[in-house]
Amino acid sequence: MTQTNENSDRMLKWGVGGALFAALCCFTPLLVVVVAGVGLSAFSGWLDYALFPLLFFCLAVVAQALWLRAGRVGPNPKLWTTAFAAVLSILIIWIEFRFALRLTVGAFVAVGIYAFFLNRMKSKGTT
């Protein structure tokens, strides 16, 4: 296994893990209970301001890792995924988390569609 594949595998694991952790903490009371349990419940109202950007930037890392694993098919997604994560983070805070679940599911679906697209491009390139 080459160094690039090892790095992309590590990026993919950390990106998916971070996105799932952030999603779990955003949509369940898990982190609120933990934070309250250690006496920091005053911060629980501000958790979403950090967790949603973390979620979106972890999904950007996943997109970059998928691109690396696919053999760098197409343009490098680093710039546009980072910009997309920043725009989603600003948007979700600006609309006061009203459509948080819809935006999050949409972001996960967008990364899934991108993975499908990369897989199709990779298979076309090898045949």
Q: How many CB atoms are closer than 10 A to CB 77? A: 19
Question: Domain of 119?
Answer: 3-126
**pLDDT cut 90: percent of the chain above it:** 61
- pLDDT > 90? residue 37: no
Q: Which residues contact 79 (CB under 8 A, 6 or more apart)?
A: none
pTM for this predicted structure: 0.88
How many structural domains compose the chain?
Answer: 1
Residue with tokens 């992309």: 8
Task: Let me know if 117 is exposed, middle or buried by CB neighbors in 10 A (0-12, 13-18, 19+).
Answer: middle
Handedness of CA 14, 83, 46, 104 (dihedral sign): negative
pLDDT at 126: 60
Tell me the per-residue pLDDT of 47-82, one tens digit each, with 9 for 90 and over: 889 999 999 999 999 999 999 998 888 889 999 999
Q: List the end-to-end C-alpha distance of the chain, in Å, as a whole number.
A: 22
